[in-house]
Structure 1
């Protein structure tokens, strides 16, 4: 009798498991756009909850009006007050083609970002004219190089140094040629930029290896490791990021110094190479402080939440510096700044000796 009872229990558990898995298999999750028609704030256990009515804008349930509750969770990305006419992404859960639940996912932001992009483009054309348009084209080329060349090379297992050098070279050459055309000035700026960028990359690899950086310190990188099957060199990815991150500032410094040296030579054909060289250094001294601050502040700005976490946790400076994430940011800031500083004499020398 006992054996029969046990057998029945096992069969019931097995049937329940089969039913649960069948339900899970039949469930489908779809992300669609919707517009908020109305909302009412209600209170539940001292937490704010909105009763939201939306109209689906796409997919199988297009034009359907659905109501659901949206909980405002303090300190989370879902703490967003939904208002009338706001476009949002919602997740529809269906079972056997029947809608069983709906949940808020995210606000639709691409429209406002497009407006900001159009404003940027308009101001670029207004103040820069045709050169501003060429700068915008150079920006597009930079993005395409990163997305269509660099990322595929890394994913396919190419060496990160080769990938970084190739992409940086294409970006630098295309940008300077588009902005200044085929000229000796462009060549000098290109060589100066490549020189400063190489210095940054070498220092990043050297000191990153010395302090045993793994490249897996950022939450985003950890998500990349845990949620994808990519087999890539994450330490190399960190070094590539440091090198590419400093590229824009180095290009700016290199072109500024080159332009000044060429302008001096243009107004005085008999000026000596040493005079041109020290003129480039003089200009570099004026811009090095602001450009170095630009780099360090840009990197520090991305780490502010973590710095606040350390401050609230009353960690010592030694403990903070020795954490892998902060150490990575310090390497990023200092190697980029050193490369920027050395760009000044490198570019000044190249521009002075090739300006005849």
Structure 2
């Protein structure tokens, strides 16, 4: 009895396995992804900022010689003080005097360690906020030009609680996700290192912000994905979809900024930053907005692309004979659910981050249309919509790439979870 003919998909998988599992689609994916990563690495090398000298003091926005010293509160008392700008009344006048909190603190670092100094806490801090033993930071202004030395309140010392939360985050990731969770945390550490060591200094130095942002994002997401999920065709497929989404978000950001005539200095913080950067401050801020658009979309893109890639891989492993159209349709059913939930995530994340701005605009009592088209608000709208559109389009792109690769992958490649060769 002659053998039963195999379906076309099975014959394609066998031919792919006979060629070592490297179909033309797989080779094209590896070539494109490799070229983009190589271009990002080259851009990073060419735009490396080197040493950047802080310009805050030169711009008159910093105090030369000021020292920040750790201290521990030993006591506090309410006093009567002269009013300052912080105490301005709604009619623009200052009260004759205000109640203020005098804090006694023992220095726990620096040359004067052990000395007790007195400082006045900033407005809004009460005795209940600074019981004895509270760790704070004080500013020391040395004596100069006949003026005596001065000690002033700076801030609370938050190293211990922040460190505790960071440790809890790492432990929870390790317990719930195991080694993959720890590798994801390592990828996060690499991401913040790239941002702190390369991205921020390059922006301050006036390097092309959009190129710098794209280069940093490509390096970050490449390292993060392979660290967390391991080197496999599944991970490379997700990386390809993420890179395509990043380029889409960048293009939409450029288009939106130009069409909406967004000003790079829309708030007081923008003016301050422009002054700190120096002569090219305003020009640099044009690109900083676009760089922010790319970075804002990076995390969400990573989330949806790795999910889509994994979904297609699992669908293919469950039914090795499924056609391209069937796999794409199944993957998009999952993708549409992800789109709906992620859109809300992006919108509410931006709303939460900009809640103080929303409150100020509410107090101004301007018409809703005028509020939404104001410079500060327009930036957030363009940022949100550019990221959301890029996210939505990245899902069918990633699904199509994943289906094209998965339908030509071998059984070993389909079942690989990462950490194996392509």
**When the two structures are superposed, what TM-score results if normalisation uses the length of structure 2?**
0.73
Q: Are 1:155 and 1:231, in contact at CA under 8 Å, matched by a contact in 2?
A: no
Q: Which runs of 5 or more structure 1 residues have no equivalent in the other structure?
A: 1-26
Q: Distance in 2 between matches of 1:118 and 1:178?
A: 20
RMSD value over aligned CA atoms?
2.2
Give the equivalent residue in structure 1 for 2:123: 73
Which of 228, 233, 240 is the matching residue for 2:291?
A: 240
Q: Are 1:295 and 1:337, in contact at CA under 8 Å, matched by a contact in 2?
A: yes
Q: Which stretch of the first structure deviates more once superposed, 223-232 or 126-135?
A: 223-232
Give the equivalent residue in structure 1 for 2:78: 41
Give the structure, 1 or 2, with the largest relative contact order (CA under 8 Å, sep 6 or more). Answer: 2
Matched, 1:108 2:143: no
Give the equivalent residue in structure 2 for 1:86: 134
Deviations 1:120-166 (A, max 9, x none): 00001010111011101110111112122222333343322321221
Matched, 1:305 2:362: no
Q: Distance in 2 between matches of 1:161 and 1:28?
A: 36
Q: Distance in 2 between matches of 1:146 and 1:28?
A: 28
Which of 322, 325, 329 is the matching residue for 2:380?
A: 329
Cα pair distance change 1:82/1:247, threshold 3 Å:
same
* Between structures 1 and 2, the one with greater strand share: 1
Which of 386, 402, 412 is the matching residue for 1:351?
A: 402
Deviation, structure 1 residue 254 = 0.4
Cα pair distance change 1:245/1:79, threshold 3 Å:
farther
Q: Are 1:146 and 1:167, in contact at CA under 8 Å, matched by a contact in 2?
A: yes
Q: Which runs of 5 or more structure 2 residues have no equivalent in the other structure?
A: 1-63, 82-95, 409-422
Q: Are 1:141 and 1:171, in contact at CA under 8 Å, matched by a contact in 2?
A: yes
* 1:269 match: secondary structure: coil
* 1:52 match: secondary structure: strand
Q: Distance in 2 between matches of 1:255 and 1:289?
A: 17
Deviations 1:55-76 (A, max 9, x none): 11122221112234x25524xx
Q: Are 1:47 and 1:72, in contact at CA under 8 Å, matched by a contact in 2?
A: no
Which of 202, 222, 231 is the matching residue for 2:271?
A: 222
Matched, 1:144 2:190: no
Cα pair distance change 1:59/1:116, threshold 3 Å:
same
Q: Distance in 1 between matches of 2:258 and 2:126?
A: 41
Q: Which stretch of the first structure deviates more once superposed, 338-347 or 227-236?
A: 227-236
Deviation, structure 1 residue 230 = 6.4
Q: Distance in 2 between matches of 1:163 and 1:214?
A: 20
Q: Distance in 2 between matches of 1:331 and 1:213?
A: 9
Q: How many residues align?
A: 326
Deviation, structure 1 residue 46 = 6.9
* 1:312 match: secondary structure: helix
Give the equivalent residue in structure 2 for 1:60: 111
Q: Distance in 2 between matches of 1:107 and 1:313?
A: 32
| Superposed counterparts of 1:175-194, under 5 Å | 175-194=224-243
